[in-house]
Structure 1
Amino acid sequence: MSDRTGIAMSGPALPGDRLRDLRLRRGFTQESLAEAAGLSVGVVKKIERGGNARIETYHSLARALRVRTSALFDAGGPHETRRKDDDKLSLMPLRQAIAPPVTFGGSVAAPGEADPELDLGHLADAARHVAHAYHGDDYRQVAGLLPGLVRSAHAAVERFDGGAERVRALALRSNALQMAGRYLTQVRAYDLAHVALRDAVTDADEAEDRAGVAGAVYQQGWLLMRQGRLDEAERVSVATAEAIEPRISRASRETLGAWGKLLIHASAAAARNNRPAEARDLLRMARTAGAALGGRSVVEPSSWGRFDWRTVAFQGIENYLVTGRPRRVLAFAERLGYGADSKLARRHLLDVAQAHAQLRQGSEATAILSGLLDETPEWLRHQRMAAGTFRDVLRHSKRRRLTPQQRRLAAFFELA
């Protein structure tokens, strides 16, 4: 393709342009592609006109076209889409802590910034407190505490220029930046999350903390998947898993957990990228780590969270959903169960709800979403998948009036 000057131009840049190009190469009409992907023709037309769709829709189109999902996401310019500035003020303290302006002498502190706490023991206690608040879904407290924690960690690294104290300070700063990256990914401040996680990897590497590197890369994999960077998410997770691959008979529980969680993310990325064979192989390796733990769990609260055999099973069920097999999702979910504490399985429960919605089982999907709203509303608020699933329920509902449960969910997701 060239312009009027004869200079070669790049191929289609936006997902709609890429979709149209791939559709025509494969000999599909818009109608036949929609049928092959299990979508309405209106969805295909909307995307090709420049509209946006959920990532699950792109997965379905990629499967029908027999290409990787990432083939639909060659980048367009940021000017192509209107962008909101809603997070500028609310995230300013974290921006100032994670990405301060710099000059010849280094970073410039924010105006009026107090001297941070430099006691490493106190800093470690503060980090544990933030991790506890995050896992308790107290995001308001997390947002309030993280800027001071990161600033204190910066000051500790600057103060200790060698020896065991510097190594500990670097590890603590990596830990704080991992938690910041995790929180920022949750609230979709992706660029700032990338800065935090990049620096977390650098600190852990300098401290020769292999577990810290693995944890930061695990968070990075989640971020990359959220951004649609599926090839990179798989590669970085696999490369790090290979670097820390343990001898199963001698590995610590923490090493098994970190290795297993990296393989889980690699499998998730491969499944979303229309690479089902690779996703299965990676999940099979993760199952080895789960089996080595027996029935036990291992937890790293400020990093990759929880890992055990059930984590692997949940990912396998999620992969079935991503590859368009909702009946298998429900069959395996029923066989597995999730124990007394559904909070540990809430991401899995969203998969089950979406499978019900895809099968036009609106009552079952609504019941799951309503239960999650009762148990973990702050977490649910940030799950775009949950809102999308509920929209599907409403779209296919034959009721003229919403049930009380549906009215409550519609108000929560701001669909009313």
Structure 2
Amino acid sequence: MPKHTDDSAPSGDTLKELRLGRGLTQEQLAERAGTSLGVVKKLERGGTARMESYHALARALGVRTSRLFEPAGPHSSTRTDDDNIDLMPLRQALAPAVTFTGCLRVGSPDPEPDLTRLRATATDMGLAYRRDDYGRVAELLPSLVRAAHDAVDHFAGAPQHGEALRLRSNVLQMAGRYLTQVRAYDLAHTALRDAVQDAVHVDDKGAVAGAVYQLGWLLMRQGRLDEAEQVSIATADAVEPRIYQATGASLGAWGKLLVHASAAAARNNRDQEAREMLRLGRAAGVALGGGQAVEASSWGRFDWRTVAFQGIENQLVARRPDRVLGLSARLPAPKDKKERLFMRRHLLDVAQAHVMLRHLDEATGVLWSLRNETPEWLRHQRMAADTFRDIIRTSKRARLSPQHRDLAAFFGPE
């Protein structure tokens, strides 16, 4: 799997201008933000850092995190073509070349697309994604996307056209989800944009909500926090159900959008808005009772714990590790492996909070457990790798333990 880099980077000039406008030295800003002087110097020279560093600096400056991000020029460093080569079949399917007569499709379409077979293949791919079988997903996606395009074209004007559009929207959502996971952001945006358009065309609010949920996740990873919050809120308003008459699916879609809006607002130093979105999301969780809404190929799972996890994550963004651990301790222990997997992203927040409090053995233990339980997923979590490197940098050990050596080999060089 190729390495991918974020497509957005903050302007060093913007950071310097804001710092000087507040009469701060680089040392004073670093101290206020709880980060190192080296990070401030690096960013003002046009370098990059973790998103968490941008949050902390923006909070110290009293601005939205998005204020630090401005349109940048071409990359100053040379990038390889590895991602273009490895993703070539999927790139050809999602963003085909265009000629005078339309899109240039690779391969010959089936004479009569079989929508039942395509739905079964899409279901298989969704299950593979849930199992973290990204190799299987990468294998299925290009041909499935092409087949979905062919089906939409074949049934144009026929009664099956709406069904074909719904199927393609579903396939494109899964493509966008996978591509965001492997950090092929521009290609993911193409897939999700087209998924939204297909869902709107057939007036499927549930599919629109699912595609926008994925888009919000992508926008947050790119640092486009204002847009992530806005698209999530606008779509949540459009699909808001009547709480006590709603289906589980509609409650789940609405709740997940509100949770994403809260995540974006928290990262953008809009704490009041983040709390308000969580309050609304909690209503969706309460309406589900002890149940769980699941949409495997779209927004995943939602229940009251989804809201609780996001509230804890917001505390981490605000650099309150004691609150993270205190709130996490109140959650019921997972009853089985399935529940443990549901909370794995939350466990990365717990590990990071332990590092912030210098509980390095506890943080290592969390990563070690995830390494054994869900290695393929963990391999693509940049936060996990960053947390491990924080452990090593903070540790006073003269020699690495066997666990540390195993994790170092797993995450690879920085």
Structure 1 SS opposite 2:301:
strand
Distance 1:81 1:237 in 2: 34
Distance 1:344 1:133 in 2: 16
Which segment is superposed worse, 100-109 or 288-297?
Answer: 100-109
Is the 1:126–1:149 Cα contact (8 Å) retained in structure 2?
yes
Q: Does 2:19 align with 1:18?
A: no
Task: Give the equivalent residue in structure 2 for 1:344.
Answer: 342
Q: Does 2:29 align with 1:33?
A: yes
Distance 1:81 1:168 in 2: 45
Task: Give the equivalent residue in structure 2 for 1:139.
Answer: 134
Over residues 97-141 of structure 1, what are the superposed CA-to-partner deviations in whole Å (9 max), with x where a residue is unaligned? 11111212221122x556387111111111100000000000000
| Structure 1: gaps (5+ residues) | 1-12
Distance 2:91 2:364 in 1: 38
Residue 328 to residue 94, structure 1, CA distance change in 2 (3 Å): same
Q: Does 2:373 align with 1:375?
A: yes
Letter in 1 for 2:37: V
Letter in 1 for 2:44: E
Task: Give the equivalent residue in structure 2 for 1:8.
Answer: none
The percent identity for this pair of structures is 66
Is the 2:109–2:147 Cα contact (8 Å) retained in structure 1?
no
Which of residues 288, 293, 297 in structure 1 aligns to 2:288?
Answer: 293
Structure 2 SS opposite 1:306:
strand
Which of residues 226, 231, 235 in structure 2 aligns to 1:236?
Answer: 231
Is the 2:262–2:275 Cα contact (8 Å) retained in structure 1?
yes
Which of residues 213, 216, 219 in structure 2 aligns to 1:218?
Answer: 213
Over residues 64-102 of structure 1, what are the superposed CA-to-partner deviations in whole Å (9 max), with x where a residue is unaligned? 100000111112112334333211111011011111112
Letter in 1 for 2:100: F
Residue 410 to residue 269, structure 1, CA distance change in 2 (3 Å): same
Distance 1:77 1:254 in 2: 42
Q: Per-residue deviation at 1:163?
A: 4.8
Distance 2:154 2:109 in 1: 16
Is the 1:338–1:345 Cα contact (8 Å) retained in structure 2?
no
Letter in 1 for 2:49: A
Distance 2:200 2:217 in 1: 20
Q: Per-residue deviation at 1:49?
A: 1.8
Letter in 1 for 2:74: P
Over residues 279-336 of structure 1, what are the superposed CA-to-partner deviations in whole Å (9 max), with x where a residue is unaligned? 0000100000000000000100010000000000000000000111111000011111
Letter in 1 for 2:301: R
Task: Give the equivalent residue in structure 1 for 2:265.
Answer: 270
Is the 1:117–1:123 Cα contact (8 Å) retained in structure 2?
no
Is the 2:166–2:198 Cα contact (8 Å) retained in structure 1?
yes
Letter in 1 for 2:252: G
Distance 1:116 1:397 in 2: 62
Letter in 2 for 1:42: G
Which segment is superposed worse, 112-121 or 319-328?
Answer: 112-121
Q: Could you tell me the TM-score, scaled by structure 2's length?
A: 0.95
Distance 1:14 1:368 in 2: 31
Structure 2 SS opposite 1:312:
helix
Distance 1:124 1:92 in 2: 24
Task: Give the equivalent residue in structure 2 for 1:57.
Answer: 53
Task: Give the equivalent residue in structure 1 for 2:404.
Answer: 406
Structure 2 SS opposite 1:299:
strand
Is the 1:267–1:283 Cα contact (8 Å) retained in structure 2?
yes
Q: Per-residue deviation at 1:44?
A: 1.1
Is the 1:194–1:220 Cα contact (8 Å) retained in structure 2?
yes
Structure 1 SS opposite 2:35:
coil
Which of residues 63, 69, 74 in structure 2 aligns to 1:73?
Answer: 69
Q: Per-residue deviation at 1:15?
A: 2.5
Distance 1:35 1:197 in 2: 40
Which of residues 85, 100, 113 in structure 1 aligns to 2:96?
Answer: 100
Over residues 315-369 of structure 1, what are the superposed CA-to-partner deviations in whole Å (9 max), with x where a residue is unaligned? 0000000111111000011111441332111100001001111111111111110
Is the 2:95–2:190 Cα contact (8 Å) retained in structure 1?
yes
Q: Per-residue deviation at 1:14?
A: 4.8
Is the 1:174–1:199 Cα contact (8 Å) retained in structure 2?
yes
Which of residues 187, 190, 199 in structure 1 aligns to 2:194?
Answer: 199
Distance 1:247 1:388 in 2: 42
Which segment is superposed worse, 123-132 or 101-110?
Answer: 101-110
Over residues 248-299 of structure 1, what are the superposed CA-to-partner deviations in whole Å (9 max), with x where a residue is unaligned? 1211111100000000100000000010110000010000000000000010
Distance 2:221 2:374 in 1: 21
Letter in 1 for 2:188: A
Distance 2:333 2:383 in 1: 20
Distance 1:273 1:117 in 2: 49
Which of residues 78, 82, 87 in structure 2 aligns to 1:82?
Answer: 78
Is the 1:116–1:152 Cα contact (8 Å) retained in structure 2?
no
Residue 14 to residue 63, structure 1, CA distance change in 2 (3 Å): closer
Structure 1 SS opposite 2:244:
coil
The aligned runs of 1:180-195 (5 Å cut-off) are: 180-195=175-190
